[in-house]
């Protein structure tokens, strides 16, 4: 049995994509996952599974969520060990850049090709820096970016399927679940 973390994209953001924590947990239990826990109502889930294939886990969850909700819920999965390493790297990136105004971590379904990584990192400028590491892209934003704007560097459209969390959520989940 392995512990995983799943990040659901675009749930509970508006009136038509509601997916309460209890319903997420029920759908996952019905799909065969165990020891399920959620953190806040924004699609952060810890669970155990005997499945070893990340792609199979994601496909199983997405199928269960579609059947339950009637809309697609892109799901990004990391093992607890992978996520702990990602969180440690995110913390190190922030520590190396004192005075950051904000640090968003884009959690990606797939690693990006080298050419796309170059494009993403080339969006860096006066407002901040994009750094890609494995299945995580870090938006390291400096003072002056517009508060409330998640993608001021315009890199998100290059990232493929993913979802983002701020550094505080990433490190909190790693401490709590990894």
What's the pLDDT tens digit per position in 67-89?
999 999 999 999 999 999 999 99
Residue 144 has pLDDT above 90, yes or no: no
What's the pLDDT tens digit per position in 53-67?
999 999 999 999 999
What is the rounded average pLDDT of the residues 107-136?
Answer: 97
What is the spatial distance between Cα 128 and Cα 107, in angstroms, rounded to a whole number?
18
pLDDT at 149: 79
Inter-axis angle of helices 167-177 and 80-95, nearest 10: 140
Question: Which of the four pLDDT bands, split at 50, 70 and 90, describes residue 14?
Answer: confident
Helix (H, G, I), strand (E, B) or coil at 156: helix
């Amino acid at each position: 049995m392995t512990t995983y973390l799943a990040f659901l994209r675009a749930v509970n953001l508006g009136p038509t994509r509601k997916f309460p924590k209890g319903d997420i947990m029920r759908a996952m239990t019905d799909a065969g996952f165990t020891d399920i826990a959620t953190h806040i109502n924004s699609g952060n889930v810890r669970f155990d599974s005997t499945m070893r294939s990340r792609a199979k886990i994601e496909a199983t969850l997405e199928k269960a969520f579609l059947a339950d909700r009637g809309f697609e819920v892109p799901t990004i999965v990391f093992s607890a060990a992978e996520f702990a390493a990602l969180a440690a790297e995110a913390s190190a990136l922030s520590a190396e850049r004192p005075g950051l105004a904000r640090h968003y971590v884009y959690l990606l379904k797939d690693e990006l090709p080298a050419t796309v990584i170059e494009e993403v990192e080339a969006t860096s400028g006066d407002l901040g820096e994009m750094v890609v590491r494995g299945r995580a892209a870090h938006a390291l934003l400096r003072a002056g970016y517009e508060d409330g704007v998640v993608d001021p560097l315009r890199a998100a459209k290059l990232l493929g399927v993913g979802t983002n969390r701020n550094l505080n959520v990433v490190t909190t989940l790693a401490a709590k679940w990894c």
